[in-house]
């Protein structure tokens, strides 16, 4: 495959943009190097690069694109919104319409607020929880990414119930001291953290179905226990549904799981591809936020007509239940096919899949938490990734990321992908 123009553009990008990319997840550091492909346009399940190559896309913009690229209904809504003025700086009826639609789909959202990114949504739920409880510490689960605000860029400490350490330069050790990180799906370690710090804990931050060290579902009873134990110490439960909301059905993961948080953060899919975040939950807790309460949060772009219109249009498309049935059918075909081909090639793999999202791990062991995901074979993933890319299959350049199907993918796309995977598994054995 000729990608000469991409290589030239990347070289140019490196001279203007730090690292040549505007988000580190787009760099190829996690796959033993290479040049990120510069895309010219997306249409349905496909991306087209600047050298004229076509790719079947499984990144889906890192999650937001679930109806395929440039979906006509969403594109029309964005175009119309641009014509009325992209930013009015006043409330608009679109905000009411979208808030109502979100609340109907996710009943735990008694009140909502729109922001511009998942990072902002999560960051604000943490602030509200601190304001509401009058406590400082938060608990999070190892390997879950909650955006790039300081309190959530904290890694686990040295022991099971120790305070965290900064996971990024520039995050202060004082910030890290307010965060306790425990393994996902481990009730005992969570209990230990609560026993040690219970009275100081404002909230626990949970991805109810993890998307950030691959797709990892909670063990039966885990989330129920987390809720019970958290409330017993007087702390709040925050669900980060930035990836999971509207990913698996029309609504949030909490409504499939039947376990409900006090506050929820959302983003990605709900913006139909435009920048967005939203948070919401119990009305008494939400009233901590300005202008009603003492906790501050604001945003020049928050609730802008284009993001609102794209979000409403995206949810209108997703209201068709058949869409999720299709994602399940395609997801199963992809999973079954990959399992079969890997077994034939004698490459040990595990696939964690939920509806149209899956992660292919190079390991023979089940993946239930971050340590399991971290222990999977990154060299095998890199070989597989580069072979797939060379064959026009666009995966995220990290062994921890999910493959996201869209409603624009077809059975034929899955067949083509599986044919490429056969070659990619063989490349691992060479």
Active-site amino acid positions: 145, 240, 268
Question: Which tokens in the block code for residue 319?
Answer: 């209201």
When the beta carbons of 38 and 62 are compared against ligand PLP, the nearer one is 62
Rounded to the nearest whole angstrom, what is the least distance from the CB of residue 385 to ligand PLP in the complex?
Answer: 19
When the beta carbons of 385 and 400 are compared against ligand PLP, the nearer one is 400
Strand order of the β-sheet with 277-281 is 111-115, 277-281, 263-267, 236-240, 201-206, 137-141, 179-182
Among residues 389, 91, 414, 118, the alpha carbon closest in space to that of 278 is found at 118
Q: Which stretch binds ligand PLP (CB under 6 A): 140-148, 293-301, 302-310, 354-362?
A: 140-148
Which residue number is nearest to ligand PLP in terms of Cβ?
118
Q: State how far the Cα of 42 lies from the Cα of 385, in Å rounded to an integer.
A: 20
Rounded to the nearest whole angstrom, what is the least distance from the CB of residue 158 to ligand PLP in the complex?
Answer: 25
The contact pattern for ligand PLP, residues 105-124, with x = CB under 6 A and - = no contact, is ------------xxx--x--
When the beta carbons of 123 and 414 are compared against ligand PLP, the nearer one is 123
Question: Which tokens in the block code for residue 426?
Answer: 């063989």
When the beta carbons of 338 and 395 are compared against ligand PLP, the nearer one is 395
When the beta carbons of 124 and 417 are compared against ligand PLP, the nearer one is 124
For the segment 188-247, give every residue that binds ligand PLP (CB under 6 A).
207, 211-212, 240, 242-243
Rounded to the nearest whole angstrom, what is the least distance from the CB of residue 401 to ligand PLP in the complex?
Answer: 10
- What secondary structure, in 3-state letters, does the chain show? CCCHHHHHHHHHHHHHCHHHCCCHHHCCHHHCCCCCCCEEEEEECEEEECCCCEEEECCHHHCCCCCCECCHHHHHHHHHHHHCCCCCCCCCHHHHHHHHHHHHHCCCCCEEEEECCHHHHHHHHHHHHHHHHCCCEEEEECCCCCCCCHHHCEECCCCCCCECEECCCCCCHHHHCCEEEECCCCHHHHHHHHHHHHHHEEEEEECCCECECECECCCCCHHHHHHHHHHHCCCEEEEECCCCCCCCCCCCHHHHHCCCCCEEEEEHHHHCCCCCEEEEECHHHHCCECCCCCECCCCCCCCCHHHHHHHHHHHHHHCCHHHHHHHHHHHHHHHHHHHHHHHHCCCCCEEEEECCEEEEECCCCCCCCHHHHHCCCHHHHHHHHHHHHHCCEECCCCCCCCEECCCCCCHHHHHHHHHHHHHHHHHHHC
Rounded to the nearest whole angstrom, what is the least distance from the CB of residue 283 to ligand PLP in the complex?
Answer: 23
The contact pattern for ligand PLP, residues 65-104, with x = CB under 6 A and - = no contact, is ----------------------------------------
Bridge-based pairing of strands 54-57 and 111-115 is: unpaired
When the beta carbons of 140 and 394 are compared against ligand PLP, the nearer one is 140
Question: Which tokens in the block code for residue 343?
Answer: 């077994």
Rounded to the nearest whole angstrom, what is the least distance from the CB of residue 118 to ligand PLP in the complex?
Answer: 2
Give me the phi and psi of 357, to 5 degrees please: -130, 130
For the segment 145-164, give every residue that binds ligand PLP (CB under 6 A).
145-147
When the beta carbons of 121 and 286 are compared against ligand PLP, the nearer one is 121
Rounded to the nearest whole angstrom, what is the least distance from the CB of residue 224 to ligand PLP in the complex?
Answer: 21
Rounded to the nearest whole angstrom, what is the least distance from the CB of residue 205 to ligand PLP in the complex?
Answer: 9
When the beta carbons of 304 and 387 are compared against ligand PLP, the nearer one is 304
For the segment 257-316, give every residue that binds ligand PLP (CB under 6 A).
267
Rounded to the nearest whole angstrom, what is the least distance from the CB of residue 98 to ligand PLP in the complex?
Answer: 17
Count of chain residues binding ligand PLP (CB under 6 A) = 15
Residues that bind ligand PLP (CB under 6 A): 62, 117-119, 122, 145-147, 207, 211-212, 240, 242-243, 267
């Amino acid at each position: 495959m000729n990608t000469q123009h991409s290589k030239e553009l990347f070289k140019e990008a490196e001279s203007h943009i730090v690292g040549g990319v505007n988000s580190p997840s787009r760099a190829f550091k996690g796959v033993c190097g290479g040049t990120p492909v510069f895309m010219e346009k997306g249409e349905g399940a496909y991306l087209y690069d600047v050298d004229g190559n076509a790719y079947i896309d499984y990144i889906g913009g890192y999650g937001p694109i679930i109806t395929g690229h440039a979906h006509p209904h969403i594109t029309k809504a964005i175009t119309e919104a641009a014509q009325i003025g992209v930013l009015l700086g006043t409330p608009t009826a679109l905000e009411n319409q979208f808030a109502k639609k979100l609340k109907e789909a996710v009943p735990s959202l008694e009140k909502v607020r729109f922001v511009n990114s998942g990072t902002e949504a999560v960051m604000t739920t943490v602030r509200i929880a601190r304001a509401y409880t009058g406590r400082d510490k938060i608990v999070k689960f190892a390997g879950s990414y909650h955006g790039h605000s300081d309190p959530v860029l904290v890694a686990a400490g040295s022991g099971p119930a120790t305070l965290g350490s900064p996971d990024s330069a520039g995050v202060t050790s004082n910030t890290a001291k307010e965060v306790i990180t425990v393994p996902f799906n481990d009730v005992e370690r969570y209990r230990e953290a609560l026993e040690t710090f219970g009275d100081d804990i404002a909230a626990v931050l949970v991805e109810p179905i993890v998307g950030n060290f691959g797709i990892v579902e909670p063990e039966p009873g885990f989330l129920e226990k987390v809720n019970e134990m958290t409330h017993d110490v007087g702390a709040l439960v925050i669900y980060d549904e930035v990836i999971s909301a509207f990913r698996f059905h029309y609504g949030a993961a909490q409504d499939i799981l039947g376990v409900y948080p006090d506050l929820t953060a959302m983003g990605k899919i709900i913006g139909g591809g435009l920048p967005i975040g939203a948070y919401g939950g119990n009305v008494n807790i939400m009233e901590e936020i300005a202008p009603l309460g003492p906790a501050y949060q604001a945003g020049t772009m928050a609730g802008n007509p284009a993001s609102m219109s794209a979000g409403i249009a995206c949810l209108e498309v997703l209201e068709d239940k058949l869409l999720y049935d299709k994602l399940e059918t395609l997801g199963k075909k992809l999973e079954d096919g990959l399992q079969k081909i890997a077994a034939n090639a004698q490459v040990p793999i595990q696939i964690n899949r939920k509806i149209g999202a899956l992660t292919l791990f190079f390991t023979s062991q089940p993946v239930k938490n971050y340590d399991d995901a971290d222990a999977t074979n990154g060299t095998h993933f890199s070989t597989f990734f580069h072979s797939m890319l060379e064959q026009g299959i666009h995966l995220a350049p990290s062994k921890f990321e999910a493959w996201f199907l869209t409603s624009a993918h077809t059975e034929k796309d899955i067949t083509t992908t599986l044919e490429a995977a056969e070659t990619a598994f063989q490349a691992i054995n060479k």
